[in-house]
């Protein structure tokens, strides 16, 4: 048995999962098993206070942890109490951390250097550190997670699974911005993100469709707080909507997506600071910015029910942005076999799937209204006669990371 700890460290939270699996299960499981243990540290509300929540199949534990500096500095102190719940108390699953076979980390930015998961060594850490310039909120948290785990479990191998790796084979036309070429060679290129999710759901779609991934042309729609669409041809990402940063592409919860760069220049000239513009495009835009209500789609839908016209506009802009995004990926595919919806909105908001698909009927997309509205679990929701299959797949990034770890053993 292989015991894998998966760590997914972000700018305001750290998620962790424990899986026990065999190489056979990792290779063949058509549907992922639930993790044995699931932990969360969340300092999103107040950077100096982390909410600790742990669940196992039948137990739970919650606590509040504080740190005077908070944020990433806090993580140094908070990770140990989180991992202590693996070896003691009601959520105990292990006698000691030495039982861990391998530790996997989701790393947001691996540039175009890494096409697959790699064992963490000094060189990999140096590359992640170097790429922190491109992902200042995430890569340092990922590195810290690696260093803390190396202190606690010095013998256990660690693996970095990059969110950019799936997109590392983007063709030059998809990767290159129309800017002076020396900037492209200096690294200002499209990298794409959410790769672990896009790769997992496209593999799962092939399983559900009972067709080889190698012959499928898919568009995967990862719609959570962050949203991105990816064209997957024969199992390879050939175009994606996020770019040099995860701010690009379609409209999101608080991020603007693609924007006329002239708007930023205009605002800079009017005296806005770089920090203000960062807040504007990453935290104050998207569904939140247009609606003035919330970044959370459920609250937008509730406001629409109450007749709020700005919430309706935000919703309409979101749907239109997704339709334009999907249409923009078609040249990279030359046709479409399947459209896959995943993440919080993609998996749960039947109205978004309905409204996006309604505008794309000309592509041969037609939903079975009942399956879209009522069905549960990973499923095909297209009308039986439709030319393009439409799938709902629950994204399982942690499981995908655990599987990638097993391949690195």
322 binds ligand ADP (CB under 6 A): no
Q: Provide the 3-class DSSP secondary structure of residue 68.
A: coil
344 binds ligand ADP (CB under 6 A): yes
- CA diameter of the chain: 61
How many other CB atoms sit within 10 Å of the CB of residue 404? 25
- The pattern of x and - marking residues 207 through 236 that bind ligand ADP according to CB under 6 A reads -----------------xxx----------
Q: And the tokens for 54?
A: 């742990």
Among 234, 296, 323, 328, binds ligand ADP (CB under 6 A): 296
Are 318 and 287 within 8 A, CB to CB?
A: yes
Number of residues near ligand ADP (by CB under 6 A)? 12
Instruction: Tell which residue, 101, 81, 17, has the closest CA to residue 55.
Output: 17
What is the arrangement of strands in the sheet containing 338-342, beginning at the earlier edge strand? Answer: 236-240, 227-233, 217-223, 338-342, 389-392, 379-380
- The window from 116-124, 255-263, 292-300, 360-368 that contacts ligand ADP (CB under 6 A) reads 292-300
Tell me the window of 30-38, 51-59, 205-213, 291-299 that interacts with ligand ADP (CB under 6 A). Answer: 291-299
Q: Which residue in the set 349, 367, 390, 404 belongs to the binding site for ligand ADP (CB under 6 A)?
A: 349
What would the x/- binding string for ligand ADP be over residues 239 to 258, using CB under 6 A? Answer: --------------x-----
Active-site residue identified among 34, 42, 151, 163: 163
Spatial contact of 49 and 65, defined as CB atoms under 8 Å apart: yes
**Between 77 and 296, CB nearer to ligand ADP:** 296
Beta carbon nearer to ligand ADP, 165 or 252: 252
- Least Å from the CB of residue 393 to ligand ADP: 13
Is residue 290 a contact point for ligand ADP (CB under 6 A)?
no
Q: Is 312 left (phi over 0), alpha (psi -120 to 50) or beta?
A: alpha
- The values of phi and psi at residue 188, to 5°, are -85, 90
- 296 in active site: no
Using a 10 angstrom Cβ sphere, with 0-12 exposed, 13-18 middle and 19 or more buried, the burial of residue 186 is exposed
Say how far apart CA 238 and CA 255 lie, in whole Å: 23
- CB neighbours (10 Å) of residue 295? 20
Whichever of 380 and 397 has its CB closer to ligand ADP, that residue is: 397
- Nearest residue relative to ligand ADP (C-beta): 344
Q: Is 314 in the site for ligand ADP (CB under 6 A)?
A: no
Interface with ligand ADP, residue 345, by CB under 6 A: yes
Cite the active site residues.
163
Binding site for ligand ADP (CB under 6 A): 224-226, 253, 296-298, 343-345, 348-349
């Amino acid at each position: 048995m292989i015991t894998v700890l998966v760590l997914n460290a972000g700018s305001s939270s750290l998620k962790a999962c424990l899986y026990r699996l065999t190489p056979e299960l990792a290779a063949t499981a058509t549907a992922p098993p639930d993790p044995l243990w699931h932990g969360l540290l969340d300092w999103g509300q107040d950077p100096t206070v982390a909410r600790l929540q742990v669940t196992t199949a039948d137990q739970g534990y919650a606590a509040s942890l504080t740190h005077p500096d908070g944020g990433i500095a806090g993580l140094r102190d908070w990770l140990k109490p989180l991992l202590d719940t693996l070896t003691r108390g009601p959520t105990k699953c292990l006698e000691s951390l030495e039982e861990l076979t391998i530790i996997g980390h989701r790393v947001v930015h691996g540039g175009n250097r890494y096409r697959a998961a790699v064992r963490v060594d000094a060189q990999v850490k140096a590359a992640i550190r170097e790429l922190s310039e491109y992902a200042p909120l995430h890569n340092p948290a990922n590195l810290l997670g690696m260093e803390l785990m190396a202190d606690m479990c010095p013998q256990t191998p660690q693996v970095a699974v990059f969110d950019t790796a799936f997109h590392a084979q983007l063709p030059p036309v998809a990767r290159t911005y129309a800017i002076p070429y020396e900037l492209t060679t200096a690294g200002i290129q499209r990298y794409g993100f959410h790769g672990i999710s896009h790769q997992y759901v496209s593999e799962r779609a092939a399983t559900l469709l009972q067709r080889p991934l190698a012959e499928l042309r898919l568009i995967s729609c990862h719609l959570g707080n962050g949203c991105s669409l990816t064209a997957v041809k024969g199992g390879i990402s050939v175009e994606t909507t996020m770019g040099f940063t995860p701010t690009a592409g379609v409209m999101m919860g608080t991020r603007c997506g693609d924007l006329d760069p002239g708007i930023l220049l205009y605002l800079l000239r009017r005296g806005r600071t770089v920090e203000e513009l960062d807040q504007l495009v990453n935290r104050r835009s998207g569904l939140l910015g247009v609606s003035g209500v919330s970044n959370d789609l459920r609250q937008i839908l509730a406001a629409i029910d109450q007749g709020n016209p700005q919430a309706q506009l935000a919703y309409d802009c979101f749907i239109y942005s997704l339709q334009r995004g999907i249409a923009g990926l078609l040249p990279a595919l030359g046709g479409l076999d399947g459209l896959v919806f995943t993440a919080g909105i993609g998996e749960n908001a039947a109205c978004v799937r309905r409204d996006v698909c309604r505008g794309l009927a000309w592509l041969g997309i037609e939903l079975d209204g009942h399956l879209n509205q009522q069905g549960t679990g990973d499923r095909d929701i297209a009308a039986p006669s439709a030319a393009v299959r439409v799938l709902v797949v629950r994204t399982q990034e942690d499981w995908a990371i655990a599987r990638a770890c097993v391949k690195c053993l």
